[in-house]
Amino acid sequence: MEIDKITQDVLDRIDDTGFKQEGAYNLRYNGYALCHGDTEHIKIEKREDGNQGINVYISGEAIKETVHIPVVISDSGMTDVVYNDFFVGEGADVTIIAGCGIHNAGCNDSRHDGVHTFHVGKNASVLYTEKHYGEGEGSGARIMNPVTRILLDENAVFTLDTAQIKGVDSTQRETYVEAKAGAKLIVTEKLMTHDRQTAVSNMEVALNGEGSSAQIVSRSVAKGESVQTFHPKAIGNAGCHAHIQCDSIIMESAKVSSIPEINANHIDAAIIHEAAIGRIHNDQVMKLRTLGLTAQEAEDVIVEAFLN
């Protein structure tokens, strides 16, 4: 079916691979499924429990396959709450491309709360990418509050790659992970705030199985009068390894709080955390200015390199 220009422009922002109505996909638009498709190994079904959302069934035969599940909101004043569950079969290897974009041209707040639960089978591998983006000339806020639950069976691997690009006025991210023996979690979180935007990211990772591991890297840039708070927490309940790293650039009158927490409940739990917050150094800007860049262009280059 034909997609209007505003929706397509937002999709281009939140899906780097280019959203197409091909393969396995589900486009949620202003609170309902605009279009969707299945493949032999990936089936998408509407929930039947009274909640808005979908169940995505990925068989163990899905190898190097991709499913797209973007959300676009263009109605000012809308609150969209959706529950999506993913059931990933043993041995599957799949990429899930999500993301939410809000185009708010009105004076009322627009909000999306996405609750995603991943049930990942033994030896399965999942790459989950999610981008958040806001735009529109209206005075109404663009609000996103994602909740992500990840349940990893033995030797499963889950890579979580999240990014908040720009334009999101308020966000509170809640992430919960449980990992069985040999399971591996890799998290890369990138976030930018400006003006008076606020962002909170809470993450709790329970490493319950022998040989489970987690690597969590969070990078953020705070501009204007924006406020950011990060609270990643790793809990070692078995012989496991975890590393948490939070790095932030603070600019202008922004505020950043980074509160990494580690808990060891087993003698063989090895957990490390690091956190750093700082400004852009003048010598970095000066070096780039000698190459012909303006001060603003130099800052933009530094920020982009830091986040990527």
Residues 152, 119: contact at Cβ < 8 Å?
no
One digit per residue, pLDDT tens: the chain, 308 residues?
Answer: 789 999 999 999 999 888 999 999 999 999 999 999 999 999 999 999 999 999 999 999 999 999 999 999 999 999 999 999 999 999 999 999 999 999 999 999 999 999 999 999 999 999 999 999 999 999 999 999 999 999 999 999 999 999 998 899 999 999 999 999 999 999 999 999 999 999 999 999 999 999 999 999 999 999 999 999 999 999 999 999 999 999 999 999 999 999 999 999 999 999 999 999 999 988 888 888 888 999 899 988 998 899 88
Q: Residue 166: what pLDDT? A: 87
Tokens of 46: 């509407």
Q: Three-class SS of residue 306?
A: helix
Q: Residue 2: what pLDDT? A: 81
| pTM for this prediction | 0.95
Distance CA 130, CA 163 (A): 6
86-to-55, 103, 125, 281 alpha-carbon distances in Å: 6, 27, 13, 44
Q: Residue 57: what pLDDT? A: 98
Q: Residue 288: what pLDDT? A: 87
Q: Residue 135: what pLDDT? A: 96
Distance CA 27, CA 34 (A): 6
Buried b (16+ CB within 10 A) or exposed e, 206-225: bbbbebbbbebbbbbbbbee
